[in-house]
Amino acid sequence: MNTLSSKQVAPARWLVLVGENDQYDDDPRACPSLVSNLPSEDQARAQVLVYPGAEQGFNGLEAAQEYQAPFLHRGQGGVERSAPDLAARDTSRQAAVEFFTESFAPTGISER
């Protein structure tokens, strides 16, 4: 088995926000497992947050909907349900703000 390096995916820190009930992988542990298979030095640069009960589209503003998704169920395809989740949306937005604030915070610059 080839070892995936996070440098192949993204050369910097990365944040993955995923709904527990997202049907693309049919496994709420898919993203955490991906990160756990990275070399240990790369794992420190990756953060995965899984939102319990949340589906695909949990951070969206539109109403729940269903549509054909060819990559659903690990590439088998099917009908996907996308639905907002207010709690997961608010929590994930805060996580994204914190991630980007930390990632792009100036370093070594003195305040005037």
Query: Model confidence over 15-52: pLDDT tens digits?
Result: 999 999 988 888 889 889 988 998 888 888 899 999 99
Distance, CA of 82 to CA of 60 (rounded, Å): 9
> How many domains does the chain divide into?
1
Residue 73 lies in a domain: yes
Q: Which long-range contacts (C-beta less than 8 Å, at least 24 apart) are formed by 69-75?
A: 69/23, 69/24, 71/24, 72/23, 72/24, 73/23, 73/24, 73/26, 74/24, 74/25, 74/26
Residue 108 lies in a domain: no
Q: What predicted TM-score, i.e. pTM, was given to this entire model?
A: 0.77
Which domain, by its residues, includes 27? 12-88
- What's the CA dihedral at 33, 34, 39, 41 to 10 degrees? -90
Residue 1 lies in a domain: no
Distance, CA of 87 to CA of 21 (rounded, Å): 15
Residue 5 lies in a domain: no
Checking if the pLDDT of 84 tops 90, the result is yes
